[in-house]
Structure formats: C-alpha cells, structure tokens
Amino acid sequence: MIVQMVRNSNAIVLALAGLLLFVSPQSSLSEEPGQPQPLGQLPKVRIPSHNLQFDDKVALGKLLFFDSRLSKDGSVSCASCHVPAAGFSDPRQFSLGVGGKQGGRNAPSALNAAYNHLQFWDGRAGSLEEQALGPIQNPIEMAETLEGVVKKLSRNKVYQVRFRAVFGGDISPDNIAKAIAAFERTLISTNSPFDRFIGGDKSALSEAAQRGFDLFQGKARCVLCHNGPNFTDNKFHNIGVPQTGPLKEDVGRYAVTKRESDRGAFKTPSLRSVALTAPYMHTGGFKSLDEVMEFYNKGGEPVTGKDAFMTALNLTDQEKKDLVEFMNNLTGELKNMSLPKLP
C-alpha cells in the first residue's frame, strides 16, 4: 500500500516536472538517456557483457583501487580522493594530486556510480572502464602514463599471477580499467531507512523524515532532478552554484558538448548516502546539508544561464530541517569497506 502511494504521488510530481522542464527555453538539460522515474529501491546493477563480474576480478580491482603505485610518485591512489569513510568521496573541498597539486572540483562519490549513465561531473566518460583510466593520466591527479603503470605493476609477481588468472593474459591498460570498474560496481549504498520504509516498514522513517519526504516530492521540488531509484535524473543542470576555488570559470558540460545550453551545467549527483559525502556541489562550496538547503531555498545564485526552475522555495525553518532529516535517512549499508593488503 505504501509503495503504491509513493508511486502514485511520484507520478503526479514527475509529470508536472516534465512539463515544467519541457516548456522552459532556458533549461540547460543535456539530451542524455533517462526519463524521470519514480523513487524506489535500487535494481540489480547491470553488468556489461564485455566485462563480466566475478569475485577474483572484483578482488583484483579492489587492490588497484587502493594502490598508490598507479600514480607517478606512489603518493596517490583512487581511494585518496574516494575515501571509504566519507562515502567514497573526498572530505576536502578540492582533491590533492601528485606533488600537492590541487584540482578545481570536489571529487564525486564513487558510491552507486554503477548506475550513472555518464561519469565525472561533466559526463566526459561513458563508462566506469573509461573513467578508471582518466585520473591515472591526469597531470593534476596521478600524473602517470598508462605505459608507466603497466611497467610498475608488471614488476610485481603477485599482480602478474592475478592478472593472468583473471584475464588469461598480461597486465594491460584495458584489463586495469576492467578490474577497477568491476570493483566499483560493488560499491552500492542500499537498504537505507528509506528503502525499508517504501518496502513496507512504516516505522523506518520518523515523522520528521516522512514530512521531509513529502516536501522532497512537493513544495521543495527536489524530485525534479533527484528522481529514480538512485535519486538522480542522470542529466546536467546549471543550478546557480557560485564559482569558488582555483578555476576562474568552470564551463561544466559545455566543455564536452559545446552546446551553449550546457554552459555551467553539471551532473545531478545521487543523494543516496549523501549525509556521508560533504562537502557538496562540484565546487565543494557547501559544508553541510543545512547550507545546501539554504542555497536551494533562495533559488541559487543569479548566475548566467541558470535553469528556469531554480527559484525561491519559501521553506520554513522546520521544513528545511525535515528535508535534511529525510536525506539523512538515505544513508544505506556500505560493503567492501575493509582495506585490502597490497602485494
């Protein structure tokens, strides 16, 4: 009964949301796959046929994820910027790479990245496999070459044996990417209080969280972008986030598509386990969910090209607290958190 009520209310809100976005000529939505979906429990992760999933491959990918030998000077691993205790995000505003170089964006969470249609804040990678090799070669991040990584790993007998066992061949960039992606597809945040609530457990959410859930779908309009089982429309929006940090201007999705409507637009992040992943936005400019709510309540900053639906919400202080309480209840159970013993 509860599930049906949720679906019905979502359907109404999403229909209105779709109409609002469709008629908005200023909307900076990218034409990426994915129609608005009802909020709900996560489906099983889709495994690509070119990278089938099995335990030994996942275990190898986990080793690589935590191994700083993927960086030029051995100081940075994937886990350096995707910290397990921080929901596989970076608790720093901007990540630090080899030599202390500072990036211009806050590292997005790797949790539930398996459900993303595109990777990175600007969507420049089409798969987890493609994404895995990006930071290795980025001069501000790991500053290594793929050839250099292969040479280093090939000198390790344990890696030699494990790559042959998993892939039937030698270490290669393609196999490194496949192993890391296989591990990342296991980083799923589920069985949250919200999941239990829509599964029929009426006691899973407090009264405040339930009020926040209603606001999320209604007055606060969060569901316009944060919809579907993973609480993201997998699209790109300019919501009026002020530019902070070392970049004078960050054009976002525009750098990939060259569409003017995508200037300043960034991917809608999942809200699952969002309470763990502060600071928030691509700039890391908000330290808490309370600050995020204040930002949305005033309709964002008056930046050029801001999406038309970003207007003041006129929420009361209690309503903002209820929304934060609901988002706190999106924190799920995290697996694969233990640190591996590197060879």
Annotated catalytic sites, by residue? Answer: 141
Q: Which residue has the tokens 């009520």?
A: 5
- Angle (nearest 5°) at CA 335 between 334 and 338: 110
CA pair distance 126, 40, nearest whole angstrom:
25
Neighbouring CB atoms inside 10 A of 225's CB total: 24
- Which pair of tokens denotes residue 306? 């801001």
- Which pair of tokens denotes residue 160? 């030699």
Query: Which residue in 219, 221, 173, 216 sits closest to 197, CA to CA?
Result: 216
* CB 29, CB 237: distance < 8 Å: yes
DSSP 211-226: HHHHHHHTTT-GGGTS
| SS3 state at 190 | strand
- Which pair of tokens denotes residue 249? 């201007």
- Which pair of tokens denotes residue 14? 């999403």
CA pair distance 206, 231, nearest whole angstrom:
20
CA pair distance 145, 314, nearest whole angstrom:
51
CA pair distance 226, 36, nearest whole angstrom:
9
